[in-house]
Amino acid sequence: MRLGSWITFVLFCVLLAVWVGPGLGHEPVRAKAPFGSDRAKTYQQAWAKDLGIPVQVTGSIGMELSLIPPGQFLMGSPAEEEWHRPDEVLHRVTL
């Protein structure tokens, strides 16, 4: 490999590492429901730490925003649930 190609390759690797971030593919576990509120907070805190951002922020108009970590959950309710509507479909959601 020529020196110029080698330098280009090294620069590409450095830029890729900066773009991917310090974790370099070692992101926290993605949430997979069902889980309780304590586990949800654990996921939230792990992702906030990995991303280097707070769990909650207050926007410029005073709206409070919370980090929602990536994962999967079921949205809707089962047909046998008391408040289930006929037009409601239980389905998996991925964030």
CB 71 within 8 A of CB 31: yes
Domain that holds residue 82: 3-94
Q: How many structural domains comprise the chain? A: 1
The pLDDT confidence band at residue 31, using thresholds 50, 70 and 90, is confident
CB 69 within 8 A of CB 31: yes
Nearest to 74, CA basis, from 95, 94, 91: 91
What is the pTM for the complete model shown?
0.58
Task: Quote the pLDDT of residue 17.
Answer: 47
